[in-house]
Every structure is written in structure tokens, then in C-alpha cells.
Chain A
């Protein structure tokens, strides 16, 4: 097993009349246990030069990880505030990550295509993105043609 911690701080001094300060730390465990997740795709950094939808994390046919507890991190490294990437899970739009934005979410993929994590850049002029999954799935692999 491995021990992987993840933490988030959310702060603002002017969103409210009072300050906002949220802080969380948790450990990436296998579902239903206190045993650490022990696989990762590694942190991938890629440069995308088309607006084509790509599968960052496709679900491999025949594997079912619906009961598992993976984690996904995605960041848009663009410095142009007008550029964004649209993140989908299958046909459902999760939302947009604009320049400098990141996301962190659980992932329990249930079915091929339906639960693929997908990304589409808003421009074809080149954008850097980073992404990583931490998991204990039977099988996934990063980056491929949208399916």
C-alpha cells in the first residue's frame, strides 16, 4: 500500500463581509478500507493543438471499477484567460477549466465510453494541460482518440 494525502484550502478575504477559510486533508484509500491506493497514471503533461475531444482516461472494455475509489486531477496550464478546456464524463459536461484552473474529483468508472473522462480545448493554437489518476483499477490507460 501507499500513503497519498490530498489537501485543499479555499480562502477569500472579500467574497463575504467576513473571511472565508476552508481547509481539508484526506488520504487516498481503496474503497471501503483504510488501505492506500497503489497505482497511478503519473502526472502527464501534454500540449494540445486541436479542439478535438480526447479521452484522458478511457474505461477499458470489460473492466468494471464501479465499486472502486479512484481520484482524478486535471489542470489547465494556459496563461491566456480566454482559453479553456471542457471536461466531460462520457456525454455529460462537468464544466470548463479556464487558464490556471484545476479540478480534483473521485472517479468510479462503471462502463466503457459512458464514464470516460474527456477533455476538449477551446482553441487549436496550443494549450498545455496536466492530468493524473490515482487508483486501484483493474486497468486504465491515459490518452487516446475519443470513443
Chain B
């Protein structure tokens, strides 16, 4: 087992009339236990030069192992750029999905978009890893966009 700590801080002096200061730390553990997650994809860095949708993280067997579905996996993604205009859309589903936003089927090519990561933005979410739950990214520009991601799994 390993001990992996993640700490988030969200702060603002003027978003509301009273200051916001949120801080939270989690230790990434295996589902239903106090045992730490012990596997990772490593920190992956990719440069994207087209606006084509890609499967950033696919489910099932990978070169770094086979993440178990429906447990306590986590995924971190960052747009390493600095642009406030260019972004990547992050979605769940299949890269070959129709352009339209669809309810995810148990099979077939559909996707649902979570949101956008502009330059410098990051996200940390659980990773379901079941069928048709690939993590997809779609750059907004064909200019080089470099993203980093890392999966922590069991």
C-alpha cells in the first residue's frame, strides 16, 4: 500500500460578502478500507494538435495495469497551457460518439460532457472505469495543447 495525499484549497475574499476559505485533505484509499491505493498510470503528458476527440483514458486492460471498475479510483487532469481562450472539453463515454450530447447507453457510442479546462485548470474526480466510461478530451484548437493526467487505481 501507499499513502497518497490530496489537498484542495478554494479561497476568495470577494466572491461572497464573507470570505470563502475551503480546505480539505483526503488520503486515497481502496474501496471500503483504510488501505491506500497502490497503483498508478504515472504522470502522463500528451501534446494534442487537432480538435479531434480522443480517448484520453480508456477502461479495461492497459499497459500500466487493469483498473478495477466501480471502486475508489481517482483521476487527475491538467491543461498545462496558459491560454484563457483555448480549452479542452472533458467528457465521459466514447470518442466516436455523435456530436450531440446524449444519455450514455450501456453500449454504443455516446458521451456526456463534464466541462472545460482552460489553460492552468485542473480537475480531480473519481474514475468509474466501467464499460463505456472512457475519459474523452476534445481540444478547442488545433494549436498545440499539452495536457497531463494521472490515474490512481486499485
Contacts and interface: CB of A to CB of B under 8 A. Distances in A.
Interface of A: 2-16, 20, 22, 24, 26-27, 29, 31-34, 36-38, 40, 42-43, 66, 69-71, 73, 75, 81-82, 84, 87, 89-98, 100-108, 110-111, 113-115, 132, 134
Given A71-B115, A94-B125, A96-B126, 19 more contacts: A4-B15, A9-B7, A15-B40, A24-B120, A26-B121, A31-B116, A92-B92, A94-B114, A95-B73, A95-B127, A95-B128, A96-B128, A102-B24, A103-B125, A104-B122, A105-B114, A105-B124, A105-B125, A132-B10
Contacts of B38: 15
Name the interface size band of chain B.
35 or more
Contacts of A43: 20, 22
Nearest to B37: A15
A72 to B, nearest CB: 8
B62 interface: no
Chain A facing B: main interface SS = strand
Closest 6 CB pairs of A and B: A95-B126, A106-B115, A4-B12, A15-B2, A2-B15, A108-B115
B84 A33 contact: yes
Given A5-B11, A32-B85, A97 B24 contact: no
Contacts of B34: 81
B122 A8 contact: yes
26 contacts: A3-B12, A4-B10, A4-B20, A6-B11, A9-B5, A14-B2, A15-B38, A22-B43, A26-B121, A34-B84, A37-B15, A71-B115, A82-B32, A84-B32, A92-B92, A93-B128, A95-B126, A96-B31, A100-B27, A102-B8, A103-B126, A106-B90, A106-B114, A107-B114, A114-B101, A115-B113
